[in-house]
Every structure is written in structure tokens, then in C-alpha cells.
Amino acid sequence: MDTFKHVLTTHLNEAATLVRDIVLSRAWVYPLLGISYFVSHPNLYKAVAPVLLRALGTSFAITVAMFFFAYVPQLAFCVLFSGPLAFVVAAFMVLSESFVLVMFVSKVFFLNEAQDRLCVSSSLSPKKLINCRSRRRSRGARIRCTSSAR
């Protein structure tokens, strides 16, 4: 029992230190700042809306297809192990598989286009994007920016 208390207090102290570091780093503020920036600049809505609508449509189609094709086989498998709550377990399994597929499809097909549209709408030239690379010189770091046609 004494070792259990020691292990528990050690884990709680580590967790408290981690939470304190997270709060003091203020890294959690940046997503909130990004959301507030997006909400306060309506010209960004027009840039992201078509991509977002296609991504939502694809997400809905993938989820419906997964329930149509995968729910019943997973339900049959879950009945063997989960008993009367098999329908809930099978639904969570299908939703988690749908989530993985949606994330993969969204990142591969929609994320680059959304980022390009955001860069274009936020005052970069439509045919050129800034590509900044850091080069170390003998007297310190120097940033070299070149524009590349897209």
C-alpha cells in the first residue's frame, strides 16, 4: 500500500508540473488567436468556403458509405463479444474508421488547396507565393526570400 501511495503521488506531481508548464507556456492561446482572426476577417470566408463545403460533403459521403458497408459486419462481430451493447460498440468503430478516412482524404486532397486560397486571399500575389529559407552565414543567420511561380 505504501508503494502505491508513492507511485500515485509521483504521477500526480508529474501531472501537476506538466499542467503548470502548459499553462505558463501560453501555447494554447495561438489556436484561439487564429480562430478570432478568421472570424474577424470575412474576406477569408470566401476563400475557404468552397474547399470547406467539398470537405464536408466528402466527410458525409464517407461516413454514410462506411455505415452502409461496414456497420452490419462489425455489428455481427461485436455481438459475439459485447453482448447487448454491440450496436453501440459497432457504431463507435465505424465512426472511428470514418474519422481516419476523412482525415486522410481531407489532408491529401483539400488541405493544400485551402492553404493556397488562404495565402492568395491574405495579400499574396495569385501566381507567386513567398518561399523563405533560412541560410546560415559566417556572421549569423540570414533569411533569403525568393518568389516561385505556381
Gap between the Cα atoms of 98 and 101, Å rounded: 5
Q: What is the pLDDT of residues 34-46, one digit of tens each?
A: 889 888 888 888 8
* Cell representation of residue 52: 470547406
Q: What is the pTM of this model?
A: 0.60
Name the residue with higher pLDDT: 145 or 91: 91
Residue 139 and residue 68 in contact, taking contact as beta carbons nearer than 8 Å? no
Q: What is the pLDDT of residues 19-33, one digit of tens each?
A: 999 889 988 899 999
Q: Locate the DSSP E strands across the chain.
A: 128-137, 140-149
| Size (the chain), residues | 150
Name the residue with higher pLDDT: 15 or 114: 15
Percent of the chain with pLDDT over 90: 43
Q: What is the mean pLDDT of residues 34-60?
A: 87
Residue 78 and residue 93 in contact, taking contact as beta carbons nearer than 8 Å? yes
| DSSP codes, 16-35 | HHHHHHHHHHTTTHHHHHHH
Gap between the Cα atoms of 25 and 78, Å rounded: 44
Residue 121 corresponds to which amino acid? S
Helices (H), 26-146: 29-40, 43-82, 86-105, 111-121
